[in-house]
Structure 1
Amino acid sequence: MDDVRRVQVTARGFALGAVGVGVAAAGILLGVQVLAQAGLLLVGVLAYGLVVLGTAARTANRGGLTLVRRVVPHPVTVDDEAVVEVDLTSAGGVHRLDRLEIAEQAARELSGGGGLRARVHRSRGRLQLTYAIHPSHRGRWTVGPLQVQRQDLFGVARWSGPLGPPMKVAVRPRVVHLDMDTRSSSTDVDRAAVGTRMPAADDASLRDYRAGDDLRRVHWRTSARRAELMVRQDERAARRPVSVLLDLPDDDATAEWSISAAASIALALMRSGHRVRLLGGGVVDALAEHHRPDVDGTAADALLDQTVDLVLPPNRMTRDAWLRTAVDTLSQQGGGAELIVAVVGGLDPDALASLARIGDAHQGWAMVRLGRVGQPAGDDETYTLEALRRAGWRAVGVQPGEDLAAAWERLLGASDRAEAMR
């Protein structure tokens, strides 16, 4: 906890001290005892205020004040509301909070473009500050530290400063629920959506029983032999893994739409039983881990948490390098055995050639951004779309900012048409 050390004399205190010294000096020079006593009393009031506040500051610095800050819910999603609760208590009631003034700092990205209104509740030895935040941008944004200020009873001195460490609020991108059963299961893309089965050695594998497992999956013979409950491995583990490839532009609005699209696609495929990973954005090592689908949402939370720290590339060279690294990761880790869903813009020739090689008609689908938010498509974006189609990808052009569910529908529709032409 940061120290609160600044004990200062207020303007009233300076005036009171100056008057007190002057009156005391005049009383001593004139031999008027009452005048001298009045001056010393004024100086004593100033000294009293400084001593009282100095003691309070030392108490706070030594842990006399305890601060706890919570954000509910946390993490929070873009455009959703969360509540910040700041709880300040005095250890043993030794520090008075009735004259303590407080203010909380929060990043502009958490205010939704407006001011923050707080409610303060005071009780003996406790002070609670509550305010709502409306995050407008994905990322990690700071609330705190708590700014405190207190004056003495006579207003001649005050102490102020930060109290407690700041806190980072994680803001996730907004995701859209994508329907995975809008087509028949005859096409490859639909079989990917509903969970394509592949031969796998772990179809009949067993694992230890976990709380919440369906008792109908308990393998009683093995459980009796081992004297512990064993369950058959969830057959969804045999579904093909999916890599969602994300190409981030250097435009903020377009990048946020792309991140939302990639996260929405990844969660939809995870819900249908696939192991999913995100690749791209310059942090491939952090995003490359496959997330197994689960019941309690832990894998989905982990995937969304990874998107919080994605940053925009500073220039086109960096963007192309990030994408090539992601494509190389796919190639080195057996991308041919995976389903690949890409959200990309116009690609440079090297990245486009690498991407075209690893996708074919059975495993590659792409949303190609045509332009930026509010801007028309460029030649490189149109060429990327056509080149991926020629390479066997099932690709559609999308306008950044458009409805994600509609874009997903078009991608599924393109897959249906491709299958009908085969």
Structure 2
Amino acid sequence: MGLRPTSRGIGLLLGGAGLVMLGVALGTVDVVRMGTLAVLAVLAPTAVLAALDPGRGRHRLTVSRTTTPNPVHVGDRADVQVLISAADPAARVRLAGLRFAEQAATDLSGGLPLRARVRRSPQQVTVSYTVQAGRRGRWPLGPLVVTRTDPFGVARSSATLGASAEVEVWPLVVPLPAPSSVLVGEPERVALGARTPSTDDASLREYHEGDDLRRVHWRSSARRGSLMVRSDERAGMRPVSVLLDLPSRTEHLEWTISLAASMALAMLEGGHPVRLVGGTRPQDAPGIGDATSWVHPTGDRARGTLLDRTIDLEEPRSTEAATTDLLAGAHLLESTGAGDDIVLAVLGPLDPAGRAALAHLADSVQGWAVVRRPAQAHGAQQTDATVDALRRAGWRACTVTGDEDLVTCWLRLLGSVR
């Protein structure tokens, strides 16, 4: 809590101190008394304000904050409501006369003061305002700053009240057309070749990470020597991994994440299990331990779970770090693929190591890639070399620019040829 005199209070303190010194010098008791009264007129209200600290003691005020919606997409608005409540008469005394100011990250406020609506009652005060998400990430709201001035206007107190909250901002995504049959293919034919399954095995498939163990068909698993699960129309959909190659410069970072997230959602809404692979996240990011696990298209939270994994993605520290992330993602795909996986990759121009890793990956997955074409001539040459290497290895690949419409990129990918 901060206590300080107002300009009026400072004037009284200086005037009172001057009168006390003058009275002592002249030996006049009345002048000393007048100066002392002036000083006490500032110190007494200051002590009262200190005793009425709204954030401490048995009669402190309580603060609750709600944000709707939360998370929110980049560019969308969210309504914030802060409720300050007084539980007893003593707390109501502290609530009366308070002025409120809310704090918000510049990525939510645009660097401008928040325009809030305040509604008062004897028991509570409600502060309502709107924020607009300007950038993907996790951005703080609060704590609430409260100020009070004494009735004489000689002292002012300020304090923070309640805890801060967090607004999670998802990347901008656009609805993409449903994936074509050319992309999805026929999973059973790809996985089993020309072999015709027996009647007992017709509704079974190999276990994939994240499958419900209650679907395991133990008799067939024992006969085959590997876990088999009962499939249905949705469970039989081919799993899709979206491979991210994040640029080491922020210029196309958000565009890359938006395209990858939009592609992932299109496949998820088409009934496919989806996961995000690659990219850099802080070590202490929430949910970092399961960032590459499968998200199944069941339940109301599937879409949110997938988008939550994009919030903490950050640009690599260098080009070498970006290559390391890509190679780690390719290794993960190669080691966990089941032979019928689809990989959708959003890439930049790759060096020879990256091209070799993804070319080798085509032996075990069906790969589709969009490759960003930079404006620089050297980068354009690397882009062409990347697309050529991927196509020779069996990928379907196309080039895009980093500011291109996302739907256009998706349709070009679906229409690409080897």
By the TM > 0.5 criterion, same fold? yes
* Superposition pairs of residues 156-175 of structure 1, within 5 angstroms: 156-175=154-173
Map of 1:398 onto structure 2: 400
- AA aligned opposite 2:76: D
Q: Distance in 2 between matches of 1:46 and 1:38?
A: 13
Provide the C-alpha distance between the structure 2 equivalents of 1:401 and 1:101, rounded to a whole number of angstroms.
Answer: 45
Q: Which residue of 2 aligns with 1:62?
A: 57
Aligned-partner SS, 2:415: helix
User: Does the 8 A contact of 2:77 with 2:130 survive in 1?
Assistant: yes
- Whether 1:100 aligns to 2:104 is no
Q: Which amino acid aligns with 1:68?
A: S
Q: Distance in 1 between matches of 2:339 and 2:57?
A: 61
Superposed displacement of residue 40, structure 1: 4.4
> Contact conserved, 2:337 with 2:364, CA < 8 A, in 1?
no
2:79 to 72, 78, 83: 83
Does the alignment pair 1:154 with 2:152?
yes
Output one character per residue of 1:229-257: Cα deviation in whole Å (capped at 9) or x when no partner. Answer: xxx97531121111110100022231111
* Alignment CA distance shift 1:264-1:278 (3 Å): same
Alignment root-mean-square deviation, CA: 3.2
Of 324, 329, 351, the match for 1:326? 329
SS at match of 2:55: helix
**TM-aligned CA distance change 1:405 to 1:127, over 3 Å:** same
- Where structure 1 has 5 or more consecutive residues not aligned to the other structure, the ranges are 209-231
**Map of 2:223 onto structure 1:** none
Taking a change above 3 Å as real, the CA distance of residues 367 and 361 of structure 1, as seen in their structure-2 partners, is: farther
Match for 1:134 among 129, 132, 135? 132
The 1-side partners of 2:332 and 2:212 are apart by 31
Residues 147, 375 of structure 1: CA spacing in aligned structure 2 closer, same or farther, 3 A cutoff?
farther
CA contact (8 A) 1:207 1:233 kept: no
Shift of 1:267: 0.8
1:157 is displaced (CA, Å) by 1.7
SS of 1:8 mapped into structure 2: strand
Please give the per-residue CA displacement for 1:365-405, whole angstroms capped at 9, x wherever unaligned: 11111116x99952111110111011110111111121111
Give, in angstroms, the shift of residue 142 of structure 1.
1.6
Q: For each residue in 1:304-340, what CA deviation from the matched residue of structure 2 results, as whole angstroms up to 9, or x when unmatched?
A: 0010000100110100000111111111112633111
Q: Secondary structure at the match of 1:308?
A: coil
Identity of aligned residues (%): 40
The structure carrying a bigger helix percent of its residues is 1
CA contact (8 A) 2:355 2:386 kept: yes
- Give deviations 1:327-357, integer Å, cap 9, x for gaps: 1111111263311111101112112111111
**Residues 146 and 353 (structure 1), Cα distance of their counterparts in 2 relative to 1, 3 Å cut:** same
Change (3 A) 1:299 1:81: same
Q: Structure 1 residues 246 and 285, CA, compared in 2 at 3 Å: closer, same or farther?
A: farther
Within 2, Cα distance between the matches of 1:285 and 1:393?
Answer: 30
Unaligned runs of 5+ in 2: 193-201, 215-229, 282-287
Task: Give the 5 Å matches for 1:6-405.
Answer: 6-23=2-19, 38-57=34-53, 60-62=55-57, 64-95=60-91, 96-112=94-110, 114-180=112-178, 183=180, 185=181, 187=182, 189-191=183-185, 201=204, 234-283=232-281, 286-296=290-300, 298-334=301-337, 336-359=339-362, 363-371=366-374, 377-405=379-407
SS at match of 1:382: helix
Q: CA deviation at 1:274?
A: 0.8
Does 272-281 or 353-362 show the bigger shift?
A: 353-362
Aligned equivalents of 1:260, 1:270: Cα separation in 2 = 15
Question: Alpha carbons of 1:20 and 1:338: their partners in 2 closer, same or farther (altered >3 Å)?
Answer: same
Counterpart residue number, 1:410? 412
Determine the C-alpha separation between the residues in 2 that align with 1:138 and 1:93: 43
Q: Structure 1 pair 133/48, CA: closer, same or farther in 2 (3 Å)?
A: same
- Mapped to 1, the partners of 2:343 and 2:18 lie a distance apart of 84
Q: What is the CA distance between 1:48 and its match in structure 2?
A: 2.1
Deviations 1:154-206 (A, max 9, x none): 1222221322232221100011111115x5x3x3x14379xx99866369x99
Structure 1 position 87, deviation (Å): 1.6
Q: 1:351 to 1:335 in 2, by over 3 A?
A: farther
Deviation at 1:12, TM superposition (A): 2.2
Aligned length in residues: 381
Q: Supply the distance in 2 between the matched residues of 1:361 and 1:385 (Cα, whole angstroms).
A: 19
- Please name the residue that 2:285 is paired with: none
The 1-side partners of 2:315 and 2:359 are apart by 24
**Alignment partners' CA distance in 1, 2:110 and 2:267:** 31
Read off the aligned partner of 2:334 and give its amino acid letter: S
Q: Distance in 1 between matches of 2:117 and 2:165?
A: 19
TM-score, length of structure 2 as denominator length: 0.81
AA in 2 matched with 1:349 = P
The 3-state SS of whatever aligns with 1:60 is coil
